[in-house]
Homo-oligomer: A and B are copies of this chain.
Amino acid sequence: MREAGVTVVRVGESTWSLFEPQDGVFSFEWMDRILDRLHKAGIKVILGTPTYSIPAWMAARHPEVLSQRWDGKQEHYGIRQNMDIYNPTYRRYCERIIRKMMEHFAGHPAIIGYQVDNEVEARKIGNRDYFEGFREYIRSEFGDSLAELNRRWGLNYWGMNINTWDEFYDRPGVTNPSYKLWWERWNRKVTADFLNWQADIVNEYRRPDQFVTHCFMPYFYNIDQVEAFRQMDYPAINIYYTMQDAQDGMWIAYAGDFMRPVCRRGNFLVTETNAQGTGWSSRDQYPPYDGQLRQNMYAMLASGANMVEYWHWATLHYGQETYWRGLLGHDGQPNRVYAEFTRGAAELEKVGKKLVNLKKRNRVAMLFSHDSKHALDFMPYTNGDQYKDYMVYEALYRQNIECDILSVDKVNDFSGYDMLVVPPLYVATDETLQRISDFVEQGGEVVMLYKSCYCNEDDAVRPVLAPGPLAAACGFTYQEFSSIRRLNLRPNDIGAADNTVGTWMEFLCPTTAKPLAYADHEFFGKWPCVTENSFGKGHLTYIGAVPSQELLQKLIARAADRKGIATAERKLRFPIVLRSGTNGDGRGVHYMFNFSAVEQTVAWPFADSESQLDGQKLSRGASVKVGPWGVVVGIE
């Protein structure tokens, strides 16, 4: 490892049954040996609490800790993450092993931090205790008022109102969207509480120089990031993606743009990412082309990561993850990927200190809504993905507009931004909508998609002309909508060659808004499907149908033009991707990626910089070559 350039490793996260082979019998010596060897080699360690995979003896003795999923599946032993994380018996065992481990290991000099659990989320847990917790949560949130509950959730429909708390019914048969939305909130709350509870225990023991983290998968909608990361200096994510021809850096950029705003210090860790092929079978093995592993390493730094760890060092010869391959393959010998890792590690050894702690001051924010994501899944308007956040993000990414992704319910102030891009904000409070309205009025640009503003925070539709509280800012109302097949738009000045919309269309009736596009259809063409409204000092562009990717890009560009956002960067486009920020020394750091197999020559769009990887000068406007799957890193 030392030879390869590894400087930090994670250990311990799924080894509960080795630390505690029998109930109350502990064994830590084997890990002591590992830590001592790592320390001797100068390699730092993040020690994980092992709670995401229970020992066999626990399942045998306390089968009630296994998850009884509300979709009817009973979990069995033989896999990880099969338990009810809310269960008190499970929690009691968790607490004991964490305390024992902390007592034993906290003083070890190799340890720089602790990871509590791993990729936790509530995986359809439906155990009785979990449901009862939900009922108490609702009781508390609704001030113990069944009348309030019945009213806000509309339970009178189909006569499913509740008249005593004992009648409050369990999740499996539920059809009511309000109930479902609150259930998802409960899932997020339990997950965050669980992490904070573990962090509290670890905090009793850890040294001041040690941090606490947790690694999430970037399926952000199941996590309350703000609450879950509350006690963590460095939240972490595990980013997996497809390499080879599909490598585009977008999933990395998305994850980073999501994480930065919710990190206390503005930077995060990457605790896992692809080494060689990934997957629970050998069906999807896509080892990187030459250059891709290193390129992705820089892509993570360019998004704000302060660490890049790979999953994992060596590859297992047995078990479910036999084909989730590490830097070393099954043979345990150096290989092509190992060589590329070593090259990257050597480069970071030289320039890494200047790249970490990257900060960004983006002018554009994309608003993310956990509630809208879930609520649209309950009431789908199409097949597959409903929320389309990734489609919207792509429209920014492909034209080099950097953004922050903000959890809409957790942010009180958009004033630091010039432009908001809004995927279907189906569920939102009046306050949030007022905040968006104010943002426009005060001069902001908003590009907003269909179905926004439709429901209140209980996932109940607002009983007013859509788009309700945003009608003035939008400059239209609507009463009707329709599923549609893909429709051509009549000629317009938006300028998209793929001049189409599809899937869904709202029949917008402009009051003050200017129609930008109409479907070329006898019936649907009676209403515009894209409008632009001047409201106060700003503009709100509304897209009342699912636009083509190109149409969406053009509409965003149109708004960006008005603000002069990313004017230079937007002249370059994917496969050239630009990412910038300011390092700890306050100097501008610029990344130029080439996400293609063909060398690109482009004009350097930034201030004069020094290329960190080859020492060359990068002058504004001068030609720069970026090789296949290559990257240029300049610092001003």
Contact = CB atoms under 8 A, between A and B. Distances in A.
A335 to B, nearest CB: 5
Given A285-B481, A461-B330, A14 B159 contact: yes
A80 B76 CA distance: 29
A332 B477 CA distance: 13
A55 interface: yes
Interface stretch (A166-174, A193-201, A528-536): A166-174
A161 B17 contact: yes
Given A15-B156, A157-B318, A482-B286, A22 B380 contact: no
A167 B382 contact: no
A556 to B, nearest CB: 25
A432 interface: no
B381 A460 contact: no
Interface string A294-319: 00000000000000000000011111
A178 to B, nearest CB: 6
B158 A79 contact: yes
Nearest to A328: B479
Interface stretch (A56-64, A84-92, A608-616): A56-64
Interface stretch (A109-117, A275-283, A489-497): A275-283
The 7 tightest CB contacts between A and B, nearest first, are A76-B173, A154-B318, A78-B173, A17-B159, A78-B174, A175-B320, A157-B319
Interface stretch (A362-370, A412-420, A463-471): A463-471
A156 B465 CA distance: 60
Interface size of A as a range: 35 or more
Contact of A161 (B18, B276, B335): B18
Contact of A76 (B16, B162, B172, B276): B172
Interface in A453-477: 458-466
A483 B322 contact: no
A50 B483 contact: no
A290 interface: yes
B465 A167 contact: no
A164 B166 CA distance: 42
A461 B332 CA distance: 12
A400 to B, nearest CB: 27
Interface of A: 14-18, 21-22, 50, 53-57, 59-60, 72-80, 82, 153-164, 166-170, 172-179, 244, 276-277, 281-287, 289-290, 315-323, 329-333, 335-337, 379-383, 458-466, 479-483, 504, 522-523, 597
B154 A75 contact: no
A11 B136 CA distance: 35
A173 B382 CA distance: 34
Given A78-B174, A177-B322, A331-B465, 15 more contacts: A15-B159, A17-B160, A54-B159, A56-B169, A57-B164, A76-B170, A244-B523, A281-B380, A282-B481, A282-B504, A287-B482, A289-B523, A322-B379, A322-B461, A333-B479
Contacts of A59: 167, 169
| Residue in A319, A321, A522 whose Cβ sees the most chain B Cβ within 10 Å | A319
A55 B159 contact: yes
A104 to B, nearest CB: 17
A159 B18 contact: yes
A317 B463 contact: yes
Most buried by B among A318, A458, A460: A318
Given A320-B177, A383-B283, A523-B290, A172 B78 contact: yes
A284 B177 CA distance: 18
A56 B479 contact: no
Contacts of A459: 318
A522 B481 contact: no
A483 B243 CA distance: 11
29 contacts: A15-B159, A17-B156, A18-B156, A18-B161, A50-B159, A53-B158, A53-B160, A55-B160, A57-B163, A60-B166, A76-B173, A77-B160, A77-B173, A78-B174, A79-B158, A79-B175, A154-B317, A158-B319, A175-B320, A176-B319, A177-B319, A277-B481, A285-B482, A316-B461, A317-B462, A318-B459, A318-B460, A322-B379, A336-B479
A380 B320 CA distance: 12
B76 A169 contact: yes
A11 to B, nearest CB: 13
A176 B78 contact: yes
B479 A335 contact: yes
Contact of A78 (B16, B22, B160, B163): B160
B331 A463 contact: yes
A78 to B, nearest CB: 3
Contacts of A460: 317-318
A336 to B, nearest CB: 7
Given A77-B169, A159-B55, A480-B276, A320 B176 contact: yes
A437 to B, nearest CB: 19
A16 B73 CA distance: 32
A381 B522 CA distance: 42
Nearest to A168: B56
Contacts of A597: 522
Contact of A56 (B56, B161, B318): B161
Contacts of A282: 379-381, 481, 483, 504
